[in-house]
Amino acid sequence: MPTPLRPARLRARLISVVVLCCALLGGLLTAQPAAAAIPVGNPDSYHVLVTKSRPLNPLNYIAPDLVYFPGTNYVLRRAVSANLQNLFGGARSAGAPLSVVSAYRSYSEQASLYNNYVAMYGQATADTLSARPGHSEHQTGLAVDVGNANGSCGLGSCFGNTPGGKWVAANAWRYGFIVRYPDGYQSTTGYTYEPWHLRYVGKPLATEMKTRGIPTLEHYFNGSNPTIKSATDLTAVDSSGVLWNYPPTFSGGLLQRTRVGGGWGGLKAGFATDWNADGVQDILAQWQDGRLTLYRGLRGGGFQSPIRVGGGWGVHEITVGTWWRGSRYPSVVARDGAGRLWHYANNTGGALSSQARAQFGSGWKTSRITLADFDRDGNQDVLATRTTGEMVLYRSNGKARFVDEGRRTIGSGWQSIDSAHAVSGFQGPASYGLTVRTGSGALRHYPITKGGWGGAFTIGDGWQNSLIFR
Q: Which residues does the annotation mark as catalytic?
A: 194
Tell me whether residue 199 or residue 291 sits nearer to Zn ion (CB atom): 199
Q: How far apart are the C-alpha atoms of 163 and 171, rounded to whole Å?
A: 12
Going by the DSSP 8-state scheme, the letter that residue 408 receives in this structure is E
d(Cα 438, Cα 168) in Å, to the nearest integer? 40
- Residues of the shown chain interacting with Zn ion in the complex, contacts defined by CB under 5 A: 145, 197
Query: CA 264 to CA 213: how far, in whole Å?
Result: 32
Q: At its nearest, how many Å lie between Zn ion and the CB of residue 138?
A: 6
| Nearest by Cα to 143 from 97, 200, 227 | 200
CB 134 to Zn ion: min, Å = 15
Nearer to Zn ion, 145 or 377 (CB): 145
Q: Looking at beta carbons, which residue is closest to Zn ion? A: 197
Q: Closer to Zn ion at the Cβ: 50 or 283? A: 50
Identify which of 71, 76, 98 has the alpha carbon closest to the alpha carbon of residue 87: 98
CB of 406 to Zn ion, least distance (A): 57
Q: Whose Cβ is closer to Zn ion: residue 197's or residue 444's?
A: 197
Instruction: Answer whether 291's CB lies under 8 Å from 274's CB.
Output: no
The answer to whether the peptide bond before residue 58 is cis (omega within 30 degrees of 0) is yes
Classify burial at 352, counting beta carbons within 10 Å of its beta carbon; exposed 0-12, middle 13-18, buried 19 or more. buried
State the nearest-atom distance from the C-beta of 188 to Zn ion, in Å.
17
Q: Which phi and psi (to 5°) does residue 27 adopt?
A: 70, 30
- The whole-angstrom separation of Cα 189 and Cα 181 is 7
Beta bridge partners of 458: 444
The least CB distance from residue 192 to Zn ion, in Å, is 12
Rg of the chain over CA atoms, in angstroms? 25
Rounded (5°) CA angle 372-214-256: 70
Q: Toward Zn ion, which CB reaches closer, 44 or 145?
A: 145
CB of 122 to Zn ion, least distance (A): 21
Cβ distance to Zn ion smaller for residue 99 or 211 = 99
CA distance 217 to 202: 12
In angstroms, the CA 84 to CA 77 distance is 10
Tell me if 134 sits within 8 A of 55, measured CB to CB. yes
